[in-house]
Amino acid sequence: MTDPRILPLEGVENFRDYGGYAVGGGRVASGQLFRAAHQARATPADLQIMAALKLATLVDLRRPRERDNDPSLRHEGFAAQVIQCDLGDHAEAPHVAFLRETDLTPESARAFFLDYYDKAPFEPRHLELFGRYFAALAAGDGPVLIHCTAGKDRTGLLAALTHQVLGVHADDARADYLLTNVAARVEQRLPMITEALEKSLGKRPSATAVRAFLGVDASYLDAAFASITSRSGSVEAYLDGIGADAATREAIRDRLIV
């Protein structure tokens, strides 16, 4: 992994800076916006790297059951504001149920993700978490980390919305989303994850299906923004609806564009 945005941690996948992009009037600050998978298997060295980031806010997009299954590890002196949400039931994550209950073909995996991204922007938990995130981003004065379990779907959507607010070009926003396919070490982890799934599920998924669950596809993000536009009228109207109004968005730009 040679992309300078990626922090090559040992036990945390997909950890990277989603700032630094050129925008009208300047550039999004680097070292202020980070995204990642969960930190339950962070090594001592990983925790030292995270401590050096001096995070002010951490947004955990996971469901309560996910947080219970993989509790976050923290470095000594961790003092960041943690934003999380217990809204809704304590059911397992949808992708876990899908893995257990379906045929795990490439076609079913793609259909699952297109449906997931269509609904994800309007999931009540996400509406609350995204709104609180943007409020913290406008009011805060230090680096932010957003993460879910794999750091690719919920996290990818929220990062893309942030890029929209900041005026990042669509091509750069899409490239940042797709960088998961490198940062999450999809090809390297494929055999190990396939074996683990076969052991736990009693059936062997295709490599294409597993690849779909480890990585991302641009059509998924397109589905989310199409859903936002269809249901809200525009991305701006959607943001207004979650409390990230024009004044909040301007405060975010004032803070992060240098």
d(C-alpha 86, C-alpha 97), whole Å: 19
6 located within any domain = no
The mean per-residue pLDDT over the stretch 90-119 comes to 79
| pLDDT higher than threshold 60 for residue 258 | yes
189 located within any domain = yes
90 located within any domain = yes
| pLDDT higher than threshold 60 for residue 1 | no
Q: So which residues are the catalytic ones?
A: 148
126 located within any domain = yes
pLDDT (0 to 100) of residue 243? 97
pLDDT (0 to 100) of residue 99? 72
CATH of the domain at 217: 3.90.190.10
9 located within any domain = no
pLDDT (0 to 100) of residue 211? 80
More confident site: 201 or 3:
3
pLDDT (0 to 100) of residue 122? 98
Domain that residue 208 falls in: 16-256
10 located within any domain = no
Identify the band that residue 70 occupies on the pLDDT scale cut at 50, 70 and 90: very high
The mean per-residue pLDDT over the stretch 72-80 comes to 97
Q: Is the dihedral of CA 140, 18, 134, 60 positive or negative?
A: negative
Helix axes 124-139 and 246-256, enclosed angle (nearest 10): 50
| pLDDT higher than threshold 90 for residue 209 | no
| pLDDT higher than threshold 80 for residue 91 | no
d(C-alpha 48, C-alpha 202), whole Å: 39
88 located within any domain = yes
pLDDT (0 to 100) of residue 92? 66
2 located within any domain = no
Give, as one character, the DSSP assignment of residue 15. Answer: -
Q: What is the pLDDT of residues 40-57, one digit of tens each?
A: 999 999 999 999 999 999
pLDDT (0 to 100) of residue 89? 63
Backbone angles phi, psi at 17, to 5 degrees: -90, 125
Total of domains in the chain: 1
**pTM for the predicted model, two decimal places:** 0.93
